[in-house]
Every structure is written in C-alpha cells, then in structure tokens.
Amino acid sequence: MDYYTISLWEATEWSDEMQAIAKDKFVPMILASGASSVNMVRTGELSFAVVTQFPDEASGIAAQQRIAEIRSQAAGELPMTLQSAVAGSVFVSG
C-alpha cells in the first residue's frame, strides 16, 4: 500500500514568488527522494500542508532522512515554520 507523509506549515507571508520556489525547487527535490507525487495544499491565509505520496512503506521510510533535510532547507530559505509532521501507510483507499 502507498505511504504518505503530511507536514503542516505556517508562513509569515505569502507571495507568488514563494509559490514559484515551492513548485520549481522543492517539489522536484521531494520527487527525487522517491515520492510518487507531492501536493501543497493551502489551508489558510498563511498556512499549508504538504502531502507526499510514496509507492510503498519501504520507499517512504527510506526517504525520511532526505525529507527531513528538505524541510529544514525550506524553513531556512522561506519565511515559514514546520508545525507538525506525520507519516503512515494507507490502510483503506477509495
């Protein structure tokens, strides 16, 4: 079954430039970690979630160190803070 990581973020500002950096720099980095897909979902004026799908649990677990490095880099380069992160395997899908 698929494996997902979900991280919740708060930003201090929001701009088209930040969205472009996320799309052009960080999405490719996440995909290069072995992810099948990544979606950045705006959940509030200055909040968003990053939902990353891996093809299986082994791939997801193997990528966790790289994902942590990417999160740290993003927080260092953009005006945002990681609020929480969770991960796990899908047990029901529809």
Percent of the chain with pLDDT over 90: 99
Is 94 inside any structural domain? Answer: no
Is 34 inside any structural domain? Answer: yes
Is 22 inside any structural domain? Answer: yes
Is 55 inside any structural domain? Answer: yes
Is 20 inside any structural domain? Answer: yes
Is 9 inside any structural domain? Answer: yes
- For residue 17, give the CATH number of its domain: 3.30.70.100
Q: What is the DSSP string of the chain?
A: --EEEEEEEEES---HHHHHHIIIIIHHHHHHTT-SEEEEEE-SSSEEEEEEEESSHHHHHHTHHHHHHHHHHHHHHSSEEEEEEEEEE-S---
Q: What's the structural domain count of the chain?
A: 1
pLDDT along the chain (94 residues), means of 10: 97 96 98 98 98 97 97 97 97 92
Range of the structural domain that residue 68 is part of: 3-89
